[in-house]
């Protein structure tokens, strides 16, 4: 739950006292035109921005999120519209960045990460080859690697920022099946978009932003 979230940049009031509630196991669509303040709000929840005012609650407990590390520790993961992957590295190497396991105190344990990626891929029907190089993968598969990335870090709340913007219609259908699989297994999702058809198809709840303010929830 977000209460009274306010964020200004020079000359712009990006978020104006926004209240937002995501229920457990639901898909909340955050809907609005480009520039409505959707991504700014989610960057605050993920710790990339600090709000000027407002509070964040998880399961009724107020929390302070000072950066993405805090968000990840609280079970929040974000898949950005522009992927944060390194093209010359494999899916496994990208996922293990920042949380590199070692064996015998010295060697990177890529086999352990690869095994975990295969398990996540199977559990959520993500269909990703851990050894594939990112630069060789189609955009839809790269997006699945990003989703695995946040699931590997045990996210229970997933923020998907304009996830269909770069996908073909067939890839969009595949993404919706993945989203349903995530919900079926107890995850909660905030789906940022400005596409009404998609919202009506998959969302449980909708909150509409316009010019940095909530103008309706349904």
Residue 97 tokens, joined: 């960045």
Contact 92, 110 (CB under 8 A): yes
Stated pTM of the model: 0.90
* Phi, psi values for residue 164, rounded to 5°: -95, 0
Question: What is the reported pLDDT for 83?
Answer: 86
Question: Digits of tens for pLDDT over the chain (218 positions)?
Answer: 999 999 999 999 999 999 999 999 999 999 999 889 999 999 999 999 999 999 999 999 999 999 999 999 999 999 988 888 999 999 999 998 866 555 655 667 778 888 999 999 999 988 899 999 999 999 999 999 999 999 999 999 999 999 998 888 888 999 999 999 999 999 999 999 888 998 999 999 999 999 999 999 99
CA distance 7 to 16: 7
Contact 165, 130 (CB under 8 A): no
Residue 114 tokens, joined: 């690869």
Question: What is the reported pLDDT for 91?
Answer: 93
Three-point CA angle 151, 91, 183, nearest 5° = 25
């Amino acid at each position: 739950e977000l209460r009274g979230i306010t964020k200004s940049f020079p000359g712009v009031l990006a978020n104006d006292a926004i209240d937002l509630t995501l229920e457990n196991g639901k898909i909340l669509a955050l809907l609005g035109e480009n520039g409505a303040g959707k991504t700014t709000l989610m960057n605050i929840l993920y710790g990339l921005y600090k709000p000027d005012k407002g509070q964040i609650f998880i399961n009724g407990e107020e929390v302070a999120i000072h950066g993405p590390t805090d968000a990840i520790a609280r079970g929040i993961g974000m898949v950005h519209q522009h992927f944060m992957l390194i093209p010359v590295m494999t899916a496994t190497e990208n996922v293990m960045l920042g949380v590199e396991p070692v064996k015998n105190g010295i060697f990177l344990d890529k086999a352990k990460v690869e095994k975990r990626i295969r398990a996540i891929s199977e559990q959520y029907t993500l269909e990703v080859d851990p050894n594939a190089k990112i630069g060789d993968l189609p955009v839809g598969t790269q997006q699945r690697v990003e989703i695995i990335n946040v699931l590997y870090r045990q996210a229970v709340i997933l923020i998907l920022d304009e996830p269909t913007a770069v996908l073909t219609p067939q890839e969009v259908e595949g993404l919706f099946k993945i989203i349903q699989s995530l919900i079926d297994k107890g995850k909660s999702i905030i789906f940022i978009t400005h596409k009404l058809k998609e919202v009506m198809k998959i969302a449980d709840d909708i909150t509409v932003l316009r010019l940095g303010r909530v103008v309706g929830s349904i």
